[in-house]
Amino acid sequence: MIRDTPCGRADARRRVRMARTYLDVADQASLGESDEGRNVAAGNAVLAAFAAADALCCLRLGRPARGQAHQEATALLKTVRPDGPALAKDLATVLGVKDAAHYGTVFVSATVLRSTLRATTRLVEAAEAAVQTSGS
């Protein structure tokens, strides 16, 4: 179930700054060639994607997803206009590596990391653009 917590432009600005920072850390960690480095990069990419999705939902819908099932966040993001369906697809891509990245059950491959970082970058850039054009 999604728990509604009202949020607005100021919350979106904070979340988008966090998203950018998580993505920067992910990019830095991705420069290494170790299995552990790829998992750390993917883990931070997941956090960046969640923060970017929250920023977009706060800005466009006035609330982020706060449910236990991450698919609910994807469903909520899909309703954001414009580009909600494409952004939700990117979030779903990133969610595909969450367990491996955060729990270390398996290592994330270089190919999967690249697609995860691309999807996360699109989410973060969309959130940054939305916040910038919202008069912040």
We report the CATH number of the domain holding residue 25 as 1.20.120.330
| Among 51, 19, 36, 31, CA closest to 101 | 36
pLDDT recorded at residue 67 = 66
Q: What is the domain range of residue 109?
A: 9-133
* 1 falls within a domain: no
Residue 112 lies in a domain: yes
Decide if 70 is inside a domain: yes
Domains in the chain, number = 1
Q: How many residues does the chain have?
A: 136
What's the whole-model pTM score? 0.91
Q: Is residue 28 part of a domain?
A: yes
Condensed to tens digits (0 to 9), the pLDDT of residues 64-90 reads: 877 666 778 899 999 999 899 999 999
pLDDT of residue 68: 65
Asked if the structure places residue 2 within a domain, the reply is no
Q: Does residue 4 belong to any structural domain of this protein?
A: no
Position 34 in a domain: yes
Distance in angstroms (rounded) separating the CA atoms of residues 122 and 45: 11
Range list of H helices, 30-109: 35-61, 70-78, 84-95, 98-103
pLDDT for residue 58 is more than 90: yes
